[in-house]
């Protein structure tokens, strides 16, 4: 079975997440946000979609066609065959991915009108769902029931032909919105990690071999608990959070109480305790096989002249944190962590990777071989997560301990 993935706003992170969860290396990149795979092992697209944080859509590839073939009745009939015509109303739409949409706009319109006319001839109500963008977002797809009672037809240019597929599943925007914005504690002024990024980071650590029931996960900078909530939603049963700030522990506890009341998750352990990360080994006798965290990244507003001072302060904090982590991380455990990158006249990184290496910390992956995504890597071949015009970017790093 051949599948396509529509990747999110940070396509390299989305790709790494998929690669870690699927037991295959047989991927082909069509464009920044379209990935293909001929999976060596079968997988459940709906189940995988629920686990992924960075993938917008997963779909089945129908075939590769020359442009002129899309004008034929034979092709249009294949699309009609995918539609269930036993209901009272049919919705369908087209999603074009690539930078040549204008060249295919007319062709897509003609195909859509043909399908619409054929369906209506069977006395079935029909609607062609459109969008201002060349593609239909997950919001549009779900609100118009294109997964269950309709069709989202995906088109992208590939090797001088057109790849045609249809969406099987897409991100549940309502669920993300609910768990992002409905929780009682959202201390915006302190900064909140996006739920999707938290989910991706946990998946980087879990991979496809971890048993979630045996994972002991710690977030030592738990804030209001976003990473821990993501872990619980992924099925992890043993969850720990710490922070030196008393209010953060209260925020996390309140959010977890809300989560348990408003979801069907079950936990073996959920423990939140106050501790400065620089002394955390003195405040817990627990060993953790996964540490996922976004530490303090500096003030939300920072002046250019203060960057060097902040880098020195944060470098000291991070190095002391890693000295503690080696005492509480179990053998073969992993750390997935955010480093700040200050983006002013140039990008300023925390210059501590060599120091960490000397301490015995090794980066889990070498991303320098990913030539297709080279423009998405930092200058030191690490993963970046950011939005346009941000002054503080997030650098995502994965470590294991080798001493």
Provide mean pLDDT across the span 292-302.
90
Q: What is the pTM of this model?
A: 0.93
Q: What percent of the chain has pLDDT over 70?
A: 98
Domains and CATH numbers, the chain: 2-171 (3.30.2130.30), 185-401 (3.40.50.150)
pLDDT in tens, 51-97: 999 999 999 998 888 888 887 878 877 888 887 666 667 899 999 99
The pLDDT of residue 188 is 75
**Per-residue confidence at 107, pLDDT binned at 50, 70, 90?**
confident
The pLDDT of residue 256 is 94
pLDDT beyond 80 at 312 = yes
pLDDT beyond 70 at 129 = yes
Structure tokens at 41: 């092992």
The pLDDT of residue 99 is 85
pLDDT beyond 80 at 368 = no
Q: What is the largest CA-CA distance in the chain?
A: 74
pLDDT in tens, 244-282: 999 999 999 999 999 999 998 888 889 999 999 999 999
Which has more pLDDT, 398 or 211?
398
What does pLDDT average to over the chain?
Answer: 91
pLDDT beyond 90 at 103 = no
pLDDT in tens, 167-213: 999 999 999 999 988 999 988 777 789 999 999 999 999 988 778 88
pLDDT beyond 70 at 41 = yes
The pLDDT of residue 1 is 60
Provide mean pLDDT across the span 109-129.
88
pLDDT in tens, 141-162: 999 999 988 899 999 988 888 8
pLDDT beyond 80 at 395 = yes
The pLDDT of residue 145 is 92
């Amino acid at each position: 079975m051949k599948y396509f993935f529509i990747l999110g706003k940070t396509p390299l992170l989305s790709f790494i997440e998929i690669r870690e969860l699927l037991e295959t290396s047989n991927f082909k990149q069509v464009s920044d946000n379209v990935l293909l795979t001929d999976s060596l092992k079968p997988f459940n697209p709906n189940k995988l979609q629920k686990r992924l944080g960075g993938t917008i859509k997963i779909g089945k590839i129908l075939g590769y066609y020359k442009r002129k073939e899309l004008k034929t009745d034979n092709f249009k009939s294949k699309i009609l065959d995918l539609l269930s015509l036993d209901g009272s109303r049919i919705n369908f739409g087209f999603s074009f991915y690539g930078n040549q949409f204008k060249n295919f706009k007319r062709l897509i319109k003609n195909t859509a009108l043909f399908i619409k006319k054929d369906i209506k001839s069977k006395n079935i109500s029909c609607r062609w769902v459109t969008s201002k963008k060349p593609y239909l977002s997950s919001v549009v797809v779900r609100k118009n029931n294109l997964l269950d009672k309709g069709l989202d037809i995906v088109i992208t240019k590939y090797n001088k032909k057109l790849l045609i597929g249809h969406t099987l599943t897409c991100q549940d925007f309502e669920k993300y919105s609910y768990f992002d914005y409905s929780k009682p504690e959202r201390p915006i002024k302190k900064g909140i990690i996006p739920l999707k990024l938290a989910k991706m980071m946990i998946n980087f650590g879990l991979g496809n071999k971890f048993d979630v029931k045996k994972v002991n996960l710690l977030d030592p900078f738990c804030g209001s608990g976003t990473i821990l909530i993501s872990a619980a939603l992924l099925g992890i049963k043993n969850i720990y959070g710490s922070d030196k700030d008393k209010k953060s522990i209260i925020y996390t506890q309140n959010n977890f109480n809300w989560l348990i009341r408003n979801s069907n998750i079950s936990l073996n352990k959920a423990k939140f305790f106050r501790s400065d990360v620089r002394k955390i080994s003195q405040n817990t006798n627990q060993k953790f096989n996964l540490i996922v965290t976004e530490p303090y990244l500096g003030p939300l507003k920072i002046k250019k002249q203060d960057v060097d001072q902040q880098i020195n302060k944060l470098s000291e904090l991070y190095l002391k944190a890693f000295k503690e982590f080696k005492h509480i991380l179990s053998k073969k455990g992993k750390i997935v962590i955010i480093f700040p990158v200050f983006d002013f006249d140039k990008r300023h990184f925390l210059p501590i990777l060599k120091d960490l290496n000397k301490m015995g910390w090794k980066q889990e992956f070498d991303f320098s071989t990913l030539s297709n995504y080279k423009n998405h890597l930092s200058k030191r071949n690490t993963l970046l997560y950011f939005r346009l015009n941000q002054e503080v970017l997030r650098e995502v790093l994965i470590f294991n301990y080798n001493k």
